[in-house]
Amino acid sequence: MKREQQLERRLHTLHTLGEAVSAMRSLAAHHFRLSRQTLPAAREYRQQIEWALSEIDVHQQLNLSAPPGVLLVASDLGLCGDYNLKLAQTARDELEQLKMAGELRTPPLYCVGRRSQSMLSRMGLTATRLYSAAASVDGLPGLLLQLAEELLDEFLNGRFGSLHVISARFEGAGRFVPTTTQVLPVRANGEVARLRPTSYQSRRRIVGVAVREYLYTTLYELLLDSLASEHGMRLLAAESARQWLEETAETVRRQLSATRRESTTQEVLDIVAGRRTMRGGPA
């Protein structure tokens, strides 16, 4: 009976865990679809901003007197496999490459996502500034308003001369590739300006607004891609956990059935033996 009760409790626990994992799987699937649906529009808008930059001929100069800066885009949440570890390793490799290229100054490391902080510490790296990651598309604007503003201010104040973003590029559900994208300084694709000067705003004002919008939209696209990759990894992990729970629960059910059969057989044998004893027959 004790063995049967243990198996029943374990089966109940597995059922409860299965419900929790199914809920997490559904939530990950929802955020995964939403981020994938939003990405094409964000990419198109960023391309329009790039066109505007080429029209007004924006070419920011590289500040060689300041070290390059690195922005790592990771996550706050777990259950996403080696997502954060791969990105942290890529950030470490990027910083090592900068040192090998002759950079003697310590590049500032900005990090989105607190989950990677412990991994960076084990690698001997410390984030200059840490931001909480957005868990959904709705949380991105609030993060970006602060992130883009502070990064651009640090760039203009000479804290770093260029900004390299380490983020995940979506390659399919459960698959991503860590990539490095240089977003600052801003350099337009066009060779000459085609728009006539306007008397309503100064060129400096127009360029300032365009650069801020470009940084915001570029980071938005990179964060969206990372969010899709993160939830894709979480969806795969939740599906694997669900399959394991189902297989384990089936094994426990078979063990419980076997235990109950053994218990029933033993009870029948005890009854038969008792009746024989009452009749005076051999046990």
- For residue range 192-206, list pLDDT tens digits in order: 455 565 656 677 788
- Strands of the sheet with 129-131, listed across from one edge: 129-131, 109-112, 69-73, 163-172, 175-184
Query: pLDDT tens across 129-148, in order?
Result: 999 999 999 999 999 999 99
Look at residues 191, 155, 161, 174 and name the one whose alpha carbon lies nearest to residue 240. 174
Residue 167's pLDDT is what?
97
What's the DSSP call for residue 222? H
Tallying the residues shown for the chain, one arrives at: 283
Check whether 77 has a pLDDT greater than 70.
yes
Tens of pLDDT, residue by residue over 162-219, are: 999 999 999 987 899 999 999 999 876 655 455 565 656 677 788 888 899 999 999 9
Q: What pLDDT score was predicted for residue 250?
A: 92
In the predicted structure, residue 25 carries a pLDDT above the cut 70: yes
Whether 151 shows a pLDDT value over 70: the answer reads yes
Residues 188/60, Cβ–Cβ less than 8 Å? no
Instruction: Identify which of 48, 54, 50, 49 has the alpha carbon closest to the alpha carbon of residue 195.
Output: 54
Tens digit of pLDDT for each residue in 247-281? 999 998 888 888 877 777 766 666 767 777 777 65
Separation of alpha carbons 84 and 119, rounded Å: 8
The residue type of 105 is R
| CATH superfamily label, 22-237 | ATP synthase, F1 complex, gamma subunit (3.40.1380.10)
